Structure 1
């Protein structure tokens, strides 16, 4: 099992990291570019104000990088594997699909670590952000936990039949969610009814928790409960989707 997982992980890293530079650009370098653009070019203020903004916007871009990875990376990869019959072949192997799903999860953890590292390095070197080791550790933990519901939703999107439909769905989810969650600009700039919706998003909850950690603020228990609720609801939705697909396949076989 472990040997099969190791081979699967090496294969996934080669095809999605080493041979897919465009994905690395969008999931790692583009959020880092946004971070530099807003903290060094478009925003001005006193030194203390700029340092505080650089810290909070670092959290926003960490969440945004995870959003792109989930809704553009994992969806496209799993749809491609499903359409080419790769998942079907793996399901017939002695180990089944478990090594594949574990490998995909580890792969996106690795990509998220890379995004965290690049954005964090820019924040420290160029903007003077100074955090303790414990704060950095909590940033990684919260960032990864906040990624879970997004990855589950991305897995559901990968079951769409057409690539065009997937592209539209990914765009309709990613950019509106980034806006209403306050990742690109402060949530206070939006209408109150939009703010109310945005505060229910897992991206907002993750960013809010990251801000609390970076500023030594109080952790909001509702954000933690909200993220856990998102994970449970997303898992339930995946289970329902799988059962419905099995039912449709069974009915089509007897049609």
Structure 2
């Protein structure tokens, strides 16, 4: 499994388009959105635009890396027969799913760190050392939830359908999760839905630390629940796909 993880990381690093959208695009978008914003607190929150969008763009970069990259790559591997070849090895199904999740989450780390570096260097974001470490660690660990979702979509959809399905999930989760704009600017019904979405809980891990507190138990429980559902669904779809082969 370790060999497969290394192989997946190398393949991702060689994909220039993937690196642009998952590593370069989030910090660039952060500068566009928060670059001209003032330091006044966001209505209904204790954070200003620079702080809020530092976390939201870091999570967006991680989401792009683990969801967009994973789903399309797996769908293509199924069509080309690569997954069928892996089944001839001693690698178990759970090992394949775990390797895909781990490799995707590992590649997401540069995006998270780069957004934080840009926020500190360009926007003058200043936090305590424990806050920087906690935000980076929480954002990285939370990306495993969406890495599992990417694996599930990759086995659920065909090569032609995987991209529109992934894009729909990506933009829907990003918008309602508060990644593009604070939830306080959305209608109340959208805020009520967002409270139970994994992207909102994901972003809330970092914003809670920025505000000087600890992540809320509810948000961590929501993420843990989605991780079990997505990982379990990915494993079931893998076994189902194996029986078809």
Instruction: Flag whether TM exceeds 0.5 (same fold).
Output: yes
Q: Quote the offset at 1:110 in angstroms.
A: 2.6
Q: For structure 2, list consecutive stretches of 5 or more residues without a partner in the other structure.
A: none
Structure number with larger C-alpha Rg = 1
**In the aligned structure 2, how far is the partner of 1:164 from the partner of 1:81?**
13
Q: Secondary structure of 1:183's partner? A: coil
1:172 corresponds to which residue?
168
1:91 corresponds to which residue?
87
Pick from 18, 24, 34: which aligns with 1:23?
18
**In the aligned structure 2, how far is the partner of 1:45 from the partner of 1:103?**
42
1:187 maps to 2:183:
yes
1:253 corresponds to which residue?
none
2:28 corresponds to which residue?
33
Pick from 225, 233, 236: which aligns with 1:237?
233
Q: For structure 1, list consecutive stretches of 5 or more residues without a partner in the other structure.
A: 251-255
**In the aligned structure 1, how far is the partner of 2:231 from the partner of 2:10?**
29
Stretch deviating more after TM superposition (234-243 or 184-193): 234-243
Q: Tell me if the contact between 2:54 and 2:119 (Cα under 8 Å) persists in the aligned partners.
A: yes
2:113 corresponds to which residue?
117
Give the 3 Å change call, closer, same or farther, for CA 106–241 of structure 1 in structure 2. Answer: closer
Q: Tell me if the contact between 2:154 and 2:162 (Cα under 8 Å) persists in the aligned partners.
A: yes
Q: Quote the offset at 1:146 in angstroms.
A: 1.7
Alignment TM-score, normalising by the size of structure 2: 0.87
Q: Quote the offset at 1:95 in angstroms.
A: 4.2
**In the aligned structure 2, how far is the partner of 1:244 from the partner of 1:73?**
22
Give the 3 Å change call, closer, same or farther, for CA 155–28 of structure 1 in structure 2. Answer: same
Q: Tell me if the contact between 1:146 and 1:202 (Cα under 8 Å) persists in the aligned partners.
A: no
**In the aligned structure 2, how far is the partner of 1:63 from the partner of 1:179?**
12
* Alignment of structure 1 residues 126-165 onto 2, 5 Å: 126-165=122-161
Q: Tell me if the contact between 2:97 and 2:235 (Cα under 8 Å) persists in the aligned partners.
A: no
Give the 3 Å change call, closer, same or farther, for CA 86–246 of structure 1 in structure 2. Answer: closer
Give the 3 Å change call, closer, same or farther, for CA 98–219 of structure 1 in structure 2. Answer: closer
Q: Quote the offset at 1:145 in angstroms.
A: 2.7
2:74 corresponds to which residue?
78
User: How many residues are paired up?
Assistant: 241
Q: Quote the offset at 1:98 in angstroms.
A: 6.3
Q: Tell me if the contact between 1:12 and 1:104 (Cα under 8 Å) persists in the aligned partners.
A: yes
